[in-house]
């Protein structure tokens, strides 16, 4: 073990779906206590808490301490759009790398059931006479009058833009990507939806923003996930069983979108993902061909396609061929979103960036049951939040 590495000692996720009887703090507590138990440690061992949540008012960490243990440790309340969970995890990792603590806890939670379409805003309140305001001198809300602010529509354009650049995309192709993820979710008891859907069912479902129909959009739901991370030095002092189940964090990367022509017109989710992937592969000393499985941010079916390319799972411009060859299916060469992905497992925003790491760890530990990817040794988890922020973690099974 190289000194300076950080490991995942314990990790868990709650069932994603509807949790009407439990509040955000309660879900976060469930996940946090689960992660501590999974790692065989207690709040007494934890030196820092990073708490991710977008919808809850910004003080989740301290509220959570009241439920799981107030030990006076530093708390970081983290918000970074859909990359919030990954950012919370990375915050705990950085505290360990900085040498401040030897063990940290990262939590992400969201309650979104019934939230409807995200990013749909009403028009500005109209006064008696037109008054230009804001940085575009707009006299009324521009959503729907100058393109769309809604997420399904934004990501639809991102997928179509890929098609314009490289060719080969179609409504049916995107529906097939969704079919794959819904099929994968039938093996995941913690997924919000666990029903297989045919391509026809997916295409004939409610159209949200062409070419994304409802099942091709991430499922708004409730859920939480948490991880205990530990330093190399500290791990050496723990039990054989703890060491065997520990998962090495080979890379922990966070990027934002650099300036490019048009990035202010249509968010560019490509370059920052490619940059994060490049840095992650370099830090980890592995290449895309070494990955046994990938959990990527399929907030919409149209997004999954472009990230095959951005994460360099295929040659530039070849995402359509990559998918059509079956490579991304759980039986393929690079299984993608065997959890069911955001489209079927669900997307409780701040939980997502830890839940996808949990999925990878589950396989690396050989504990994924029916959906186990046999012999998985290395996996990659990716999230992206519009605005934008991208988190990539590469994880490796502990040496036997």
317 binds other proteins (CB under 8 A): no
354, 367, 368, 374: which is closest to 241 by C-alpha?
Answer: 367
DSSP 237: T
Place of tokens 């950080």: 6
For the CB of residue 167, give the shortest distance to other proteins in the complex, in Å: 9
Cβ closest to other proteins, residue 20 vs residue 132: 132
196 binds other proteins (CB under 8 A): no
Cβ closest to other proteins, residue 22 vs residue 271: 271
204 binds other proteins (CB under 8 A): no
- Omega of the bond leading into 211 within 30 degrees of 0 (cis): yes
Binding residue for other proteins, selected from 10, 17, 34, 153, defined by CB under 8 A: 153
Q: Are strands 103-110 and 212-213 parallel, antiparallel or unpaired?
A: unpaired
334 binds other proteins (CB under 8 A): no
For the CB of residue 46, give the shortest distance to other proteins in the complex, in Å: 39
59 binds other proteins (CB under 8 A): no
Cβ closest to other proteins, residue 159 vs residue 346: 159
CB 227 within 8 A of CB 351: no
| Other C-beta atoms lying within 10 Å of the C-beta of residue 327 | 17
Q: Cα(272)–Cα(158) distance, rounded to whole angstroms? A: 14
Cβ closest to other proteins, residue 157 vs residue 337: 157
Cα radius of gyration (the chain): 21
For the CB of residue 139, give the shortest distance to other proteins in the complex, in Å: 6
Cβ closest to other proteins, residue 118 vs residue 338: 118
3-state secondary structure 129-195: CCCCECCCCECCCCCCCCCCCCHHHHHHHHHHHHHHHHCCCCHHHHHHHHHHHHHHHCCCCCCCCCC
122 binds other proteins (CB under 8 A): yes
Interface with other proteins in residues 237-276 (CB under 8 A): 259, 261-262, 264-266
Kindly list the residues in this chain that would bind other proteins in the complex (CB under 8 A). 117, 120-123, 128-130, 132, 134-148, 150, 152-154, 156-158, 160-161, 163-164, 171, 206-212, 259, 261-262, 264-266
């Amino acid at each position: 073990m190289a000194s300076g590495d950080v490991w995942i000692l314990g990790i868990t996720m709650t069932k994603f779906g509807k949790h009407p009887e439990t509040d955000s703090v309660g879900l976060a507590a469930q996940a946090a206590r689960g992660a501590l138990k999974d790692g065989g440690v207690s709040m007494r061992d934890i030196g820092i808490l990073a708490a991710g949540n977008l919808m809850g008012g910004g003080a989740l960490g301290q509220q959570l301490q009241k439920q799981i243990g107030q030990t006076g440790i530093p708390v970081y309340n983290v918000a970074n759009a859909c990359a919030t969970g990954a950012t919370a995890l990375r915050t705990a990792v950085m505290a360990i790398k900085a040498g401040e603590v030897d063990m940290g806890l990262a939590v992400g939670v969201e309650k979104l059931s019934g939230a409807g379409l995200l990013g749909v805003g009403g028009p500005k309140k109209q006064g008696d006479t037109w008054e230009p305001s804001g940085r575009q001198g707009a006299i009324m809300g521009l959503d729907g009058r100058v393109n769309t602010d809604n997420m399904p529509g934004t990501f639809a354009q991102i997928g179509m833009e890929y098609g314009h650049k490289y060719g080969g995309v179609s409504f049916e192709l995107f529906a097939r990507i969704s079919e794959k993820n819904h099929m994968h979710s039938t093996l995941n008891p913690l997924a919000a939806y666990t029903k297989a859907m045919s391509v026809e069912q997916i295409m004939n479902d409610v159209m949200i923003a062409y070419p994304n129909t409802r099942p091709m959009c991430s499922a708004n739901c409730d859920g939480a996930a948490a991880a205990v991370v530990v330093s190399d030095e500290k791990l050496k002092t723990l039990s054989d069983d703890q060491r065997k189940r520990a998962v090495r964090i080979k890379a922990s990367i966070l990027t934002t979108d650099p300036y490019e022509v048009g990035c202010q017109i249509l968010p560019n989710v490509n370059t920052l993902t490619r940059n994060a992937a490049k840095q992650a592969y370099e830090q980890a000393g592995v290449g895309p061909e070494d990955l046994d499985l990938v959990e990527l941010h399929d907030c919409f079916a149209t997004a999954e396609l472009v990230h095959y390319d951005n994460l360099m799972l295929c040659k530039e411009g070849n995402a359509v061929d990559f998918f059509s060859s079956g490579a991304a299916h759980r039986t393929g060469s690079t299984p993608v979103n065997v959890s069911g992905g955001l489209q079927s497992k669900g997307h409780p925003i701040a939980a997502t960036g830890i839940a996808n790491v949990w999925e990878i760890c589950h396989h690396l530990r050989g504990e994924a049951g029916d959906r186990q990817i046999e012999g998985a040794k290395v996996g990659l988890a990716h999230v992206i939040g519009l605005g934008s922020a991208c988190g990539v973690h590469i994880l490796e099974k502990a040496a036997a």
